[in-house]
Structure 1
Amino acid sequence: MTDKITFQDPTSRRVGLLADNAYIEQKASQWAAEDHEKLILLCQQHGIKSGPHMFYTLALELARELHPEPKKRGRKSKWTEQNKGMLVAEIERLVTPNDSSHGIEWACTQLAKREPWASFIDAKEGGLSDPAPAKALRKIYFESRNHMWAAICRDAFKFHEHEDTLAEWESLVSDSVNNLHPN
């Protein structure tokens, strides 16, 4: 429903001084019925199903609209769940099993030198020393390697590897890293 629902100001609902009790009761019932009908319409407008707690749910919805929690300040993190997962898959792609010289640390150092990761990482993320970008990648890897998106990205990489479409995979990685928060 796109019509705006309005409610009458209760102070404008008056009856004359000479009105009898029957008329007052009739008007009060009429106003209550009108308000109830509009509350039902508001519930429908907010997608609230009919039930014993529907008006409580409506009150919460309206309170959240009128008094929203303040938004967090600061810039959005450039690390999304998706690009963290892509990082995990990319690091594991480079690691050579049973070769300590080509492990996680080595893979992070390699990725920190390559695009799109080289542009993505900045020195502020890992400290001030030269290997800071690699350390930042390593930290994100260990924080993210067991998350759902890491598993999804591992599977996506394996699919592209199996289908011999690694150029598409690399395009996906680049897009994920370079287009952080698409609208």
Structure 2
Amino acid sequence: MTERGAFRRSGGAASGALAFLLVATLLAAAACGGSEEDDIKNIQATATAAARDRPSATATLDPVAAYRQKVTAAGKRLSEATDQLHKDMLAASESQADPKWPTILTTDADAVIAAVAAVKALTPPDDRFSAFAAGLNEIAAKLESGAKLLKQAIPTADQAIGAQAFFAVDEGKAKLPDALAALPAE
């Protein structure tokens, strides 16, 4: 046998059978469907129908539970902002000459004002919560007043207005826990 004969393909019939299977597979695939666009439309229609016909549970949020959850979150935010402002006001009173305090106190006051706005935006779900909301809003207004007075006092370093601001924040901070604790039970 020559070298050339050693590398000769044997089984011409096997090659023909493989070619036949390849052609048959391609013809079968082409016969199964239309254009690519038809396949996408069929898939979309089937998926849409399946999604539309599937029952789904609708979440019904209890308005009282939702209100209680929102009050708790907004009250916590207001309490934390008030605590920070109060703490920084006390620290600033001991080192008033430090130039960092106006920026810090303004930021703290803005945080209290934003937290108050979140509390005031809450709407009681029914009359059972009206007195609670009124009491909480009264304390929130006191804290807002103190924060706004502080922002007024900072640019001019007005100690009289600063003292009014401190007393308003201090009073509101003292009353806030009781106001939040008065949230009626479900």
TM-score (norm 2): 0.25
TM-score (norm 1): 0.25
